[in-house]
Structure 1
Amino acid sequence: MWQASNVYFICGFAAIGGALFGFDISSMSGVLGTQAYKRYFGNPVSYAQGGITAAMPAGSLVGSLFSSFVADHYSRKVALQFASVLWIIGSILMAASINIPMLCVGRVICGLCVGIASSIVPIYQAEIAPKRIRGRVVSLQQWAITWGILIQFFIQFGAAEGIGGGPQDPNQPTAAFRIPWAVQMVPAWILFIGLFFCPYSPRWLASKGRWEEALQVLANLHGKGKIDDPRVLAQYREIEEALEKEREQAASSVKMMFEWKMFRRVLLGMSVQMWSQLSGMNIMMYYIVYIMEGAHIASPLATASIQYVINVVMTFPAVMWIDKWGRRRPLLCGSFGMMTWLFVSGALQQYFGQPNTDATRTPQNSDITWIVYENRPVSSAIVSCSYLFVATFAMTWGPVSWTYPSEIFPSKIRAKAVSLSTAANWFWNTVLAFAVPPLLWNISFRMYYVFGAFNAAALIHMFFMARETAGYTLEEMDDVFNSKSRPWETQKKPKSRVDQLAEDIEAGNVEVPVPLREAPVDVAPMMKVQSSNPSASTVEDVKTASPGPATLAESK
């Protein structure tokens, strides 16, 4: 079967798994303001709406914890295909919902998919990509999330406006929310089928002893199919040495993960995901309609749609330049910026807002308790702060929060550690999805101060703990985190081992053994391949090439 070999295409296609996350986020925000949804499900507010919204992240929490089992045993690719099937089942149940319990079950199943995909997509992308563009391609996960949010919101918006008499029609048909929930299964079908044409992760293949396949995948991805390319052989050697080092350690992957030096890394990965939730971004996405109603400016759905466009547009610069900007700087600048916009927005609402009483209450804003009434400049400033907050997150924490945990762990524990990191994301996502409607109802503008304080805490934490990882291979992360330097101290990055090794191979100073197919992998004879053999394009070619640079060696 034909296999794709372009890294950007493979990682971009896998990012459809992230788009499913985005679809789910706006699948709720787009229906909250429609009369069809409110009438059919009994106008859920406060804890009732919080429970519906929290059903998806609750499923995602379970899915993220379960993801490492599927990914380690059956491969990253198969795990994503399994997640796609779950999404299709969940979407069918949501679209056919006849009551709140059935809707919640559908959202839980969709959440299982999102939990698996959000854990495994970044791992798959990081293990496919070379170090120089790893941040860029893993950031495609976040960009896909923003596209999913935008596309599904406009599907919801179009259905809300085009079906019946519009979102304020008290007799609006339930197709206004059923059609969008059914349409969202389309990308899952595309992802499931398309992954058959994507390669397995070379690092996963190597961890299973499938060295010849791993080498050929590396050659296809990074050497135009030639296994004698110095970059291919250098990466192969790096992976081989890293796995040998891990095998020499008697500790199991679970025990290794909880050794203090490694557990500090696990806690850092979990913290990055936790702070990305406590920044308040997903709350802005889930409940932006309520926020716009409180600002009392224009159409809440139309005003909110601008925010989704900003999210997509402003994520693109981060995708392009994250490998140049690094990881640490965006984390620090993002926390400071989001803290600022939240404090300003909260202060504006505190000093210019008022309780939403009978004098100001309308059918359109009956779901909120605090409102800025007939003060256009202040309302515009609140909306502007919301837009600036989203833009700041999109350029900083959005892409980095997925990239950083996917690259800081060794191969032996990567899937498990990333699943724990992502589980932290979903735990706090669940808590906030359930808690924010009551917060908006009971403490109104003070909620902005709470999340502003979270961003201040994240700024301090990341300053003292987050190390720069841009430009290092996955196999060099032990060097980064075992360094005696302080995280905030600027260090001149030494030349990468894999780059030096590639130069030595190209110069003919190093020979790299590669496996033959005829014998079992664990006892297979190896071939020493030098990069100077132009006829050795694939493993099969090496085996039939004339004697010379490629010579048989003793078994390893």
Structure 2
Amino acid sequence: GGLLIGLNLSSMSGFLDVMAYSPTFAILLRWEREIVTAAMPIASILGALVSWRLMDDLKPPRTMLCASVFWLIGSCLMAVAPGLAVLSIGRVLAGLAAGILSVAAPAYMVEIAPRENRGAYMSLLYLFIAAGIFLQNVNQYVAAKLSWSMLDMTEPIPREDLMSALRVSFIFQLIPGSIFTGFTFLLPQSPYYLASQGHWAQSHAFMAELQKKRMNDPRLRAQYELMREDIRDQRQKGQPRLRMLLRVSEFRRLVTGLFMQMWNQACGMHIMLHHTVFVVTAAGVRHPNLVIFVLYLLNVVATCVLGSRLMDKWGRRVTLLIGSLTMASLEFIGSSIYGWFPWVIENRGASTAVVVFACFYIIAYAASWGPVSWTYTAEIFPNHLRTRGIALCSICYWIYNVALTFTELSLRSNSSQTYFILVVMNMVAFFHVAAAFRETQGGPPEEMDDIFSSSSYAWQRQPRGVKLQALISQFEGMEATNGPTWLQPGYELQDRLATTDA
């Protein structure tokens, strides 16, 4: 799912210019490129908007199957499109798929992720997004080579050859879409869903399989009991409704999640993803295509090496704070360089400095805001409202994605001012995280209510895992008294009674 989101995000920032489908390719109309670019994220907003309804009816695995079908149809339409109209329809369908997946994938992953290293597990989503961004550029480069024997990638490509290369790249997009479609048929329902439907024994067995523990392990049994208590409490509150997120107990989490995705976009990384060509060209480097490849590959490597570890080691708050401060510092350096030299930098030292700045900036983002933003917005909401909360946060993500699509003119006219604005954005994000974002690392999903309803300030230690640890101690005492086979026959009776209560 993350791979398709990444392919979607970078579909307009690769080597090949989709505006070749425009009859006025030589002289584009004002805002024509931005409108075509925005078609996909606008459709993603609609996809996120309907995603929670689909998940209520179809559940996550079938919802992701539905999204993959949209992706396949959209890619086929783009591959055979005679012009911008049909191409835009295909982009809209692919955007719908990305919007649905941006909700269904994190909602499903957080329910099956182990508590101890939930961050590392959830970072796989952004890792695959970064891989999709990289593969889209590799895809377009290979398609260009197959369609037109280019000895020098810096030379302009004839419109006819460019359209042929684009068709090949769209056909390539069918490969990961087809693989993911088949994969969705193998996805089981999450333990939480099984338990909510009364399949308690299956849920417990699946939890043991996921965590590779025996079913009567004290820690596993404590998590199971905590989940069962949470489901019973939620049933007393009635069916989940979107308006429940406006209650005082949930509204703080909703606002935090919305700002998380807003700052994730406003920090500047997605400007680089959308307009990599302009950023690299403004630096005046000798081999721009090689630099672009390195930047996208670095995003993947940094996520794999750093992004998968830091948020579980340092916690969400510290990782975000260090990330914001680092990116603000790097963007200030970039703003200074662009302010001291002309738009096309002819000074080799300054050009190298811009490339180094871009590399360290991508490392900082991939180690912090990239994976943490997807993890945090998925884990802060209560289980019964998670899909609705993630959907609203995802809508905010795509709205800002659309807004930043129109920054191309700013990058062309004055990169210095653009990066200075990003410095301000990152510093505001730094202080907001410090003042309002609560630490969730290691906290069970069932105890997020305690974390966000605590009277302590966000920068103070939060009551994480108190109930879980009490249950673990209780079951460890039972195991010490009764031995490793302490699980009594009455356990199945308790499951039947719990199912009857449901």
Does the 8 Å contact 1:45/1:437 carry over to 2?
no
Does the 8 Å contact 2:218/2:479 carry over to 1?
no
Residue 177 (structure 1) aligns with: 166
Q: Rate the CA distance shift 1:348–1:37 in 2: closer, same or farther, 3 A.
A: farther
TM-score (norm 1): 0.82
Does the 8 Å contact 2:77/2:87 carry over to 1?
yes
Q: Rate the CA distance shift 1:40–1:31 in 2: closer, same or farther, 3 A.
A: farther
Q: 1:129 & 1:143 partners in 2: Cα distance?
A: 16
1:158 Cα deviation (Å)? Answer: 2.4
Residue 497 (structure 2) aligns with: 555
Instruction: Kindly provide the amino acid, as one letter, of the partner of residue 397 in structure 1.
Output: W
Residue 411 (structure 1) aligns with: 383
Q: Rate the CA distance shift 1:35–1:200 in 2: closer, same or farther, 3 A.
A: closer
Q: Which segments of 5 or more consecutive residues in structure 2 lack a partner in the other structure? A: none
Residue 337 (structure 1) aligns with: 326
Residue 75 (structure 2) aligns with: 91
1:89 Cα deviation (Å)? Answer: 0.9
TM-score (norm 2): 0.91
1:328 to 317, 334, 341: 317
Residue 203 (structure 2) aligns with: 214
1:306 to 294, 297, 302: 294
Instruction: Kindly provide the amino acid, as one letter, of the partner of residue 497 in structure 1.
Output: K
Residue 108 (structure 1) aligns with: 92
1:424 Cα deviation (Å)? Answer: 0.5
1:405 Cα deviation (Å)? Answer: 0.6
Residue 265 (structure 2) aligns with: 277
Greater shift, 18-27 or 304-313, is seen at 18-27
Instruction: Kindly provide the amino acid, as one letter, of the partner of residue 197 in structure 1.
Output: L
Q: 2:445 & 2:81 partners in 1: Cα distance?
A: 44
2:303 match: secondary structure: helix
Q: 1:116 & 1:91 partners in 2: Cα distance?
A: 16
1:445 match: secondary structure: helix
1:490 Cα deviation (Å)? Answer: 4.1
2:437 to 466, 478, 493: 466
Q: 2:471 & 2:272 partners in 1: Cα distance?
A: 47
Matches within 5 A, 1:498-517: 498-508=468-478
Name the larger-Rg structure.
1
2:373 match: secondary structure: helix
Instruction: Kindly provide the amino acid, as one letter, of the partner of residue 36 in structure 2.
Output: I
Q: How well do the aligned residues superpose, as a CA RMSD in angstroms?
A: 2.6
Q: 2:219 & 2:483 partners in 1: Cα distance?
A: 9
Instruction: Kindly provide the amino acid, as one letter, of the partner of residue 485 in structure 1.
Output: S
Residue 292 (structure 1) aligns with: 280
Q: Does 1:243 align with 2:231?
A: yes
Q: Does 1:383 align with 2:371?
A: no
1:47-87 deviation line (CA, Å, top 9, x unaligned) = 11111211111111111111111122221111111111111
Residue 403 (structure 2) aligns with: 431
The structure whose residues are more often helix, as a share, is: 2
1:28 match: secondary structure: coil
Q: Rate the CA distance shift 1:551–1:198 in 2: closer, same or farther, 3 A.
A: closer
1:373-412 deviation line (CA, Å, top 9, x unaligned) = x211112212221222111101100000000010001111
Identity, in percent, stands at 34
Greater shift, 448-457 or 83-92, is seen at 448-457
1:71 to 55, 58, 63: 55
Does the 8 Å contact 1:55/1:108 carry over to 2?
yes
Instruction: Kindly provide the amino acid, as one letter, of the partner of residue 508 in structure 1.
Output: M
Q: 1:550 & 1:24 partners in 2: Cα distance?
A: 48
Q: 1:71 & 1:34 partners in 2: Cα distance?
A: 33
Q: Rate the CA distance shift 1:45–1:240 in 2: closer, same or farther, 3 A.
A: farther
1:305 match: secondary structure: helix
Q: 1:264 & 1:209 partners in 2: Cα distance?
A: 31
Q: Rate the CA distance shift 1:202–1:163 in 2: closer, same or farther, 3 A.
A: same
2:247 to 259, 262, 270: 259
1:448 to 416, 419, 431: 419
Residue 392 (structure 1) aligns with: 364
Matches within 5 A, 1:77-156: 77-156=61-140
